[in-house]
Structure 1
Amino acid sequence: MAETKGTRQAKGISRAQFLAGAAAVGIAGVAGRARAADASHGPGLRRRGVVYTVGAGETPGTAWSARRMRHDIRAIRDELRADTVDVTGDGVERLTTTAAEAAARGLHVWLQPTLGDAPQRDILDHMAETGRFAERLRRQGASVDFSVGCEFWLFVPGILPGATALERIEHLQSGTVDWPRTLRRLAEFTAKAARTGRSVFKGNLSYAAAQSIDDPDWNLFDIVGIDYYAHFARRSDHVRELKRYLKWGKPLAITEFGTCAYVGAPETGGMGWDVVDHDKDPAEIKGDLIRSERVQADYVGGLLDVFASMSLYGAMAFEFISADAPHRPDAPRHDLDMASYALTKVIKDRPGDPASGWHWEPKEAFHAVARRYGAAGQRTAQSQ
């Protein structure tokens, strides 16, 4: 349960959208047959990707910008050596502009709108508009998969009690959730989302499910998508855990995976982000954590090796950048990048100044991913 965009907005942290579910004409016929070309692709990962979140940001300086996005997309292709970008977040213009740039650069696009804490009708409309654009890209020859969203039980009001993601988390923690009702509502909305996606997009359809809570009817989709934040001492245990998602006979994509840059972060599962005290001004790291980019790199690299050994459809490292979590080497207590899953660290020109300009630098995890993606890309080119 890694923190994501919903929690950013609710808690003030930058990220994608927090944590780690055939009545319509044509759904059963289309979703029931996995694309042969996608299901069988030989050894290694078919799609080697990274999550790129678009959003309003906490300040004007950290908000999405077309100029910065174009620079980042080039870096994802040329420096990270990824062949796929998971474009996620809210705001149809931000999503579609970023997806178009990635497609123009020859990257595979995994497009996933994640509007949260809005009326269900608005979420479906936002999804449909984004999906129509994805279909236009696909018809123009771009390589595109479309995901109808992420962890609906957390982000969509009306499934769990609570008006915001944070309130829904509080209900989960209190143990007052009516699970039969929650799971029924989750299944109902997931089916609506699948019908909406099918109505506008004719390529591969998916959904990003939480590893421990979501259990959607994967007959509704072409690709099984899992946000994966498990921690095991042995790689064989990861393989055993992931094999249960292959029972559907469909391609499996890891739609998020990663950890934070401090000692002990992998053991927290998807809650590594929850080490920041936002009641302080400025926000500060709780406890006496020890920054370690090596811990993050080893975890991310090790999981990529597991995914490749299983020849999964794809894996999207979470995430490329967290603009609202700057690195402070001069002030460890305020080094919010420790609680970030990003492969890059944000460096401000004037640390502590909200209006300061900034740039990003690669972390050790960036290099761990780039080495694996680059080597896999060379093998693919040599085999063609």
Structure 2
Amino acid sequence: MQRIHDRTHRANGINRAQFLAGAASAGLAATLLPAGTAAAAEQRHGLRHRGVVYTVGEGETPATGFHTARMRRDIRVIRDELHADTVDVTGDGVERLTATAAEAAERGLHIWLQPTLADASERDTLEHLAETGRFAERLRRQGASVDLSVGCEFWLLVPGIVPGDTVVERIQNLMDGKVDPVRMQHRLDRFTARAAAVGRSVFRGRLAYAAAQEDQVDWRLFDIVGIDYYAYFPRRADYVRELRRYLRWGKPLAITEFGTCAYVGAPETAGMGWDVVDRDKDPQEIKGDLIRSERTQAAYLMQLLDVFTSMGLYAAMAFEFVTPDAPHRPGDPRHDLDMASYAVTKPIEKRPFDPAAGWHWEPKEAFHALARRYAREAARG
């Protein structure tokens, strides 16, 4: 099992594919779909903010966990080589979140600051949000460009909304139909409102939340609609049609995550691309005979950016910059865990299967494609 934050995003993929497919007969899918006919938000040409998700966390080992010096180098690369103007700083640990946000502010980047805790109590989650939000407000008052997201996909992360003490247990209960959808939505609405109130109490800038594609959210609580987006359609028009429904609240739309993995067929999994690793094996290995394809990953990101840009969305942040616990092992397809990673860089171990020996990342084709696109957009102003 990967670090908690990565595990969370794998669970998100289950939501998008298996959960909704399996729960449709119980009426959950209809419950989670947005409703309403508010006017569409005013559109502009191009993306206002172009970015990447940068996850902070402890990692599986000390060698793959958060290091301040590496973070500072990465933030410089995000600005100077990836040509992003935005970084989505997400994960847990107030010190890690604030240190990264401060570095991004120092480098003149727009900050999307999103604290997330997995399997923590409601009280701890809200305290974590409040402390992070107070720091975001200090940055804002000092002149930094910062949006605060109160979190993401609470029904998955926060115990008490869906039965189960852990993310894995909650997913299983959803899959097994052991959830009352009306009660679940009531609890989700209640906690989302509490989180929004906490965010407003400590932060005076733009407030947001990152929802799964199918979630029902009262967007009146927020200034920005945030969506973790992993859809796949054969036609561009289908993406536009789906995304337009998020504009009906008349508020800016931010794509808080988008991306896919680096193998042939990954985009078609619609958020389940990670589910090709046998984690019961030691060492973990890739299932089946997948064909590594960085070009596939890059092409999908460019396809979605074409859509986001044409719609003039507020922001789009590719998921993610680096996943240290998913190393690329050239010449060893069975153990090339980077194939199942959404990151635009690939970790290279100094000695395979020994992360303590050290590692570095190298750019994938997706990194170069994003860099070219972001540089062109920046030049256009």
- Give the TM-score normalised by structure 1: 0.90
Q: Which residue does the alignment assign to 1:313?
A: 314
Moved more, 285-294 or 101-110: 285-294
> Is the contact made by 1:16 and 1:88 (CA closer than 8 Å) also made in structure 2?
no
- What does 1:135-154 correspond to in 2, within 5 Å? 135-154=137-156
> Is the contact made by 1:258 and 1:341 (CA closer than 8 Å) also made in structure 2?
yes
1:121 Cα deviation after fit? 0.2
Q: Give CA deviations for 1:113-159 in whole Å, capped at 9, x if unaligned.
A: 00110111000000000000000000000000000001001000001
1:8 Cα deviation after fit? 3.4
Q: Which residue does the alignment assign to 2:23?
A: none
What is the root-mean-square deviation in Å for CA atoms of aligned residues? 1.4
> Is the contact made by 1:8 and 1:17 (CA closer than 8 Å) also made in structure 2?
no
Which of 52, 55, 59 is the aligned partner of 1:53?
55
SS of residue paired to 1:267: helix
> Is the contact made by 1:135 and 1:203 (CA closer than 8 Å) also made in structure 2?
yes
Q: Which residue does the alignment assign to 2:20?
A: none
1:78 Cα deviation after fit? 0.6
- CA distance in 2 between counterparts of 1:45 and 1:108 reads 13
> Is the contact made by 1:15 and 1:53 (CA closer than 8 Å) also made in structure 2?
no
Q: Which residue does the alignment assign to 2:114?
A: 112
Q: Which residue does the alignment assign to 2:34?
A: none
- What does 1:253-332 correspond to in 2, within 5 Å? 253-332=254-333
1:174 Cα deviation after fit? 1.6
> Is the contact made by 2:2 and 2:325 (CA closer than 8 Å) also made in structure 1?
no
Q: Which residue does the alignment assign to 2:36?
A: none
1:288 Cα deviation after fit? 1.2
Q: Give CA deviations for 1:231-280 in whole Å, capped at 9, x if unaligned.
A: 00011100000000000000000000000001111111111111111110
- CA distance in 1 between counterparts of 2:194 and 2:152 reads 14
> Is the contact made by 1:14 and 1:58 (CA closer than 8 Å) also made in structure 2?
no
- CA distance in 1 between counterparts of 2:327 and 2:162 reads 32
> Is the contact made by 1:15 and 1:322 (CA closer than 8 Å) also made in structure 2?
no
- CA distance in 2 between counterparts of 1:346 and 1:362 reads 9
Count residues in correspondence. Answer: 354
Q: Does 1:8 align with 2:16?
A: no
SS of residue paired to 2:270: helix
- CA distance in 2 between counterparts of 1:370 and 1:83 reads 11
- Percent identity, please: 72
1:40 Cα deviation after fit? 5.7
Q: Which residue does the alignment assign to 1:32?
A: none
Aligned AA (1:135): E
1:176 Cα deviation after fit? 2.3
1:325 Cα deviation after fit? 0.2
Q: Which residue does the alignment assign to 2:362?
A: 361
Aligned AA (1:325): A
> Is the contact made by 1:14 and 1:322 (CA closer than 8 Å) also made in structure 2?
no
> Is the contact made by 1:16 and 1:89 (CA closer than 8 Å) also made in structure 2?
no
Q: Does 1:19 align with 2:12?
A: yes
> Is the contact made by 2:43 and 2:311 (CA closer than 8 Å) also made in structure 1?
no
SS of residue paired to 1:280: coil
Aligned AA (1:258): G
Query: Unpaired segments of 5 or more residues in structure 1?
Result: 1-6, 21-38
Moved more, 349-358 or 309-318: 349-358
SS of residue paired to 1:8: coil
Could you say if the C-alpha distance between residues 9 and 124 of structure 1 is closer, same or farther in structure 2, counting changes exceeding 3 Å? same
Aligned AA (1:346): P
Q: Which residue does the alignment assign to 1:245?
A: 246
1:354 Cα deviation after fit? 3.0
SS of residue paired to 1:270: coil
- CA distance in 2 between counterparts of 1:194 and 1:14 reads 25
- Give the TM-score normalised by structure 2: 0.91
> Is the contact made by 2:83 and 2:371 (CA closer than 8 Å) also made in structure 1?
yes
Q: Give CA deviations for 1:52-88 in whole Å, capped at 9, x if unaligned.
A: 0000000000000100000000000011100000000
Moved more, 352-361 or 223-232: 352-361
SS of residue paired to 1:96: helix
> Is the contact made by 2:328 and 2:338 (CA closer than 8 Å) also made in structure 1?
yes
Q: Which residue does the alignment assign to 1:3?
A: none
Which of 85, 88, 102 is the aligned partner of 2:87?
85
1:329 Cα deviation after fit? 1.1
Which of 176, 199, 202 is the aligned partner of 1:200?
202
Moved more, 348-357 or 129-138: 348-357
Aligned AA (1:285): I
1:15 Cα deviation after fit? 7.5
- What does 1:165-184 correspond to in 2, within 5 Å? 165-184=167-186
> Is the contact made by 1:14 and 1:323 (CA closer than 8 Å) also made in structure 2?
no
Aligned AA (1:348): E
Query: Unpaired segments of 5 or more residues in structure 2?
Result: 14-40
> Is the contact made by 1:254 and 1:316 (CA closer than 8 Å) also made in structure 2?
yes
> Is the contact made by 2:349 and 2:355 (CA closer than 8 Å) also made in structure 1?
no
Aligned AA (1:19): N
